[in-house]
Amino acid sequence: MTDKNPVRLNIGCGGRPLLDYVNVDMDSLDDLRRRYPAQTFSDDIILRNHDIFNLPYADGTVDEVRADGLLEHLSFIDEPRFFHEVRRVLKSGGSFVFSVPDFEQVCKNWLAAKDDWKDFYRMDDEAIAKQHWFGTYTYKTDNRWGYIVATIYGSQHGEGQYHRNCYSEGKIRAIMERLGFDVASLNKTLWKGDRDPMLDTVAVKR
């Protein structure tokens, strides 16, 4: 591709594939349509099942890599493999755009919340529709044993929906420095506007 058609990857896209990106995930477009029936997915979406640790791109040929809500799912062993693969494929000046739960803030929220266990976890259709979350019926973080537990350990709704790693602002900045990236921005947000505290990062390869 030429500069008029930049190579942009959206890795671990889940139910958030983007037009004009090569979206990388385990599912097919038909799988996404079945899994997220309330969403509409364009036929123009490009979705590939690439190995994220061995991407089919030559060194320094990719303009942008996105990875929203992916890194916390990687094991301790796979974590550096992915970071080094992103660095390999990105051009000098290419962008690495990613978001992860803000584990430091999550810990603060958990410690400040009330210790008030309500119910065992449920994942039946009714529980999902009503945001059961251990009997709290909310995404708020005012109970240690509500949705905040899913922020720490993953939603556990299916294979791959487990968190195996964690990040702070300090860790992100140290990793980016180690790998030769400049952090262009690092902002604190909420996942989907009302859920997990997140760290949204844009880093540029030197």
pLDDT at 3: 53
In a shared domain, residues 97 and 109: no
Q: How many CB atoms lie within 10 A of CB 180?
A: 12
pLDDT at 29: 85
In a shared domain, residues 89 and 190: yes
Model confidence pLDDT, tens digit, residues 65-97: 999 999 999 999 999 999 999 999 999 999 999
103-108, Cβ contacts within 8 angstroms, sequence gap of 24 or more: 103/152, 103/166, 103/167, 103/168, 104/168, 104/169, 105/188, 105/197, 106/148, 106/151, 106/152, 106/196, 106/197
In a shared domain, residues 31 and 69: yes
Model confidence pLDDT, tens digit, residues 164-173: 999 999 999 9
Nearest to 101 by CA among 169, 158, 53: 169
41 belongs to a structural domain: yes
133 belongs to a structural domain: yes
In a shared domain, residues 94 and 69: yes
In a shared domain, residues 194 and 114: no
Tally of domains in the chain: 2
